[in-house]
Amino acid sequence: MHDIKHWIDGAYAAGTSDRHSEVFNPATGEVQARVPLATAAEIDAAVDRAAEAQVGWAATNPQRRARVMMKFGALIQRDMDKLAEAISREHGKTLPDAKGDVQRGLEVVEVCMGAPHMLKGEAMTDGGPGIDLYSMRQPLGVVAGITPFNFPAMIPLWKMAPAIVSGNAMILKPSERTPTCSLLLAELLKEAGLPDGVLQVVHGDKEAVDAILDNETVQAVGFVGSTPIAQYIYGRAATNGKRAQCFGGAKNHMIIMPDADLDKAADALVGSGYGAAGERCMAISVAVPVGEETADRLTEKLIPRIEKLKVGPYTGGDDVDYGPLITGAAKERVEGLISSGIDQGAEALADGRGFSLQGYENGFFLGPTFFDRVTPDMDIYREEIFGPVLSQVRMGSYEDALDLVMKNQYGNGTAIFTRDGDAARDFAARVNVGMVGINFPIPVPLSYFTFGGWKKSAFGDLNQYGPDAFRFYTRTKTVTARWFSGIKDGGEFHFKAMD
């Protein structure tokens, strides 16, 4: 076991508090490290140093800031295997999944290489007699990112890359369950030429979060996690006059129409429902077949696919489909929800409780679970499970299926599988969900678009990455300029105001 440190002013720094959190190896259940939990005083000191460093960084022109991102992206590619290994060791996800985690973050870094274009303002001459107008995008100052355990590279990169390239300094508080990847990224940014202090990585729990939210120097906060905490952070940040974009939970549905290619639909459901052990906010956790015949045929195709899933540690080879849950408490919670589904009348056609893996008996593994004939009043439908559990809710018509999605409290992602273009277009236009897939199960937009949900999946006006990120991390200043005309007379200028 080793002690993890903070990253302060371009170097590792030991915590000063006597409080720590344990970092587990989810495959074995063993504690592999301790991470310090920062005090409010440590947060304030990190913010003060970031504010000092931000002044010079903001004065660096956008093209030079973009060059740091170019070098940073190259270094991420160089160290892809090292970063993925760190993620898998602390999170438990397979190495291909971990590399995908890094890759999706890298794509946002690549967009940030074009920051000079994204940071351009607008201009207009002759808005009035002799009057010109132009706008500037200027950094906010010190901003903060509070990121979750399930994507230790992707979401920190979604936060830090656009914030930093826009001229801000960032306080990053990664999940205390998966802290190492953020520290490795901080090392790479320093190697890429980022001045010391512009990025501070500080570990902590609620005390650290509240200190960030209450610090007057911090101008904006970005968060990804559960809905109750997202709502709490958004409310406290707004009360303190900060910008906030807070992304919460999800309950993502996939409608399967009678004309759909059911083999492709079944493959999509298994991959999106059980990948990463279901610990992702864009997982499809609810299958919604339209019509009893569609449901029966889909079920026949799902069961053998589910039974073939291989669960194991990330060291188990490329054929491992997913790994353990993040902690023993997470496993117990999911098992409790599975039990409630059975008690409330759902048909458990696959039950992952009691799964054991030889040599890893103390790991936080859970087998795949599949429920049929789930109803909207059941706990397994109402709650975000965040585990390898897929629920099937049968609907009699397209309109009933659409209504089910529309009435759900979450609005992160959704999908429809169909050969009917009219039905697909109607679904995309009417559904009240932020990200929509058509024959595409996990509709995470590419990095030059933007990511964000609706309803209780998101709090705040602007989304993550893409153009919205640059809007979020900058303020617009508009200048109205009027110049007076000069008339040369005998070698001298005489000025007069223009009408």
- pLDDT band of residue 490 (cuts 50, 70, 90) is low
Distance (Å, whole) CA 372 – CA 350: 9
pLDDT tens digits, one per residue of 29-74: 999 999 999 999 999 999 999 999 999 999 999 999 999 999 999 9
What is the chain's mean pLDDT, rounded? 95
d(CA 390, CA 288): 11
Give start and end residues of each alpha helix (H) in 113-205. 115-118, 154-165, 180-192
Q: Looking at the domain assignment, is residue 293 inside a domain?
A: yes
Pair (244, 278) in one structural domain: no
| CA pseudo-torsion sign 27, 30, 36, 37 | positive
**Cα→Cα distances 493→251, 298, 489, 490, Å:** 71, 84, 6, 8
Between the alpha carbon of residue 150 and those of residues 202, 215, 240, 327, 466, the distances in Å are: 18, 27, 28, 12, 21
Q: Count of domains in the chain?
A: 2
Residue 26, pLDDT score: 97
Instruction: Confirm whether 92 is domain-assigned.
Output: yes
Q: How sure is the predictor about 211, in pLDDT bands with cuts at 50, 70 and 90?
A: very high
- Same domain for 258 and 349, yes or no, is yes
Which domain-ending residue is among 385, 408, 438?
Answer: 438
Taking 60 as the threshold, does the pLDDT of residue 221 lie above it? yes
Please tell me the predicted confidence (pLDDT) of residue 494: 61
pLDDT of amino acid 60? 97
Q: Are residues 264 and 244 in the same domain?
A: no
Question: Do 400 and 287 fall within a single domain?
Answer: yes
Mean pLDDT in residue range 138-155: 97
User: What is the share, in percent, of the chain residues with pLDDT greater than 90?
Assistant: 94
61 and 30 co-located in one domain: yes
Q: What is the pLDDT of residues 295-310, one digit of tens each?
A: 999 999 999 999 999 9
- Looking at the structure, tell me whether residues 419 and 462 fall in a common domain: no
Q: pLDDT of 378-400, one tens digit each?
A: 999 999 999 999 999 999 999 99
Residues 188 and 79 sit within 8 Å (Cβ to Cβ): yes
Same domain, 365 and 469: no
497 is a domain residue: no
Dist. CA 168–CA 470, nearest whole Å: 11
Widest CA span in the chain: 99
Task: Report the alpha-carbon distance of residue 197 to residue 221 in Å, rounded.
Answer: 18
Distance CA 402, CA 360 (A): 42
Closest CA to 6 of 163, 154, 153, 182: 182
Summarize the confidence of residues 15-29 as an average pLDDT. 95
Please check whether residue 105 lies inside any domain of the structure. Answer: yes
pLDDT for the residue numbered 463: 94
CATH number of the domain that 369 lies in?
3.40.309.10
Give the model's pLDDT for residue 258: 98
Q: What is the band of 155 on the pLDDT scale with cuts at 50, 70, 90?
A: very high
153 falls within a domain: yes
Domain assignment of residue 118, given as a range: 2-248+457-480
- At residue 493 the predicted structure's pLDDT band, cuts being 50, 70 and 90, is low
DSSP 395: B
Q: Which residue has the tokens 């290489």?
A: 113
Evaluate whether residue 450 is within a structural domain: no
Question: What integer is the mean pLDDT of 244-257?
Answer: 97
* Residue labelled with tokens 């060291």: 315
Does 197 reside within a domain? yes
d(Cα 195, Cα 205) in Å, to the nearest integer? 27
pTM value surpassing 0.75: yes
In whole angstroms, what is the distance from residue 7 CA to residue 26 CA?
25
The pLDDT score that the predictor gives to residue 308 is 97
- Same-domain check for residues 96 and 152: yes
Q: Say whether both 84 and 178 belong to one domain.
A: yes
User: Would you say how long the chain is, in residues?
Assistant: 499
Predicted local distance difference test score (pLDDT) of residue 317: 87
Q: Residue 496: its pLDDT value, please?
A: 59
Say whether both 375 and 302 belong to one domain.
yes
**What CATH number does the domain containing 194 carry?**
3.40.605.10
Whether 496 is in a domain gets the answer: no
Q: In the chain, what is the straight-line distance between the N-terminal and C-terminal CA atoms, in Å?
A: 77
Name the percent of the chain lying above pLDDT 70: 97
**Two structure tokens written together for 77:** 């590619």
Q: Which residues are catalytic?
A: 281
Average the pLDDT over 350-363 and give the result: 95
Is the same domain home to 390 and 409?
yes
Do both 202 and 96 map to the same domain?
yes
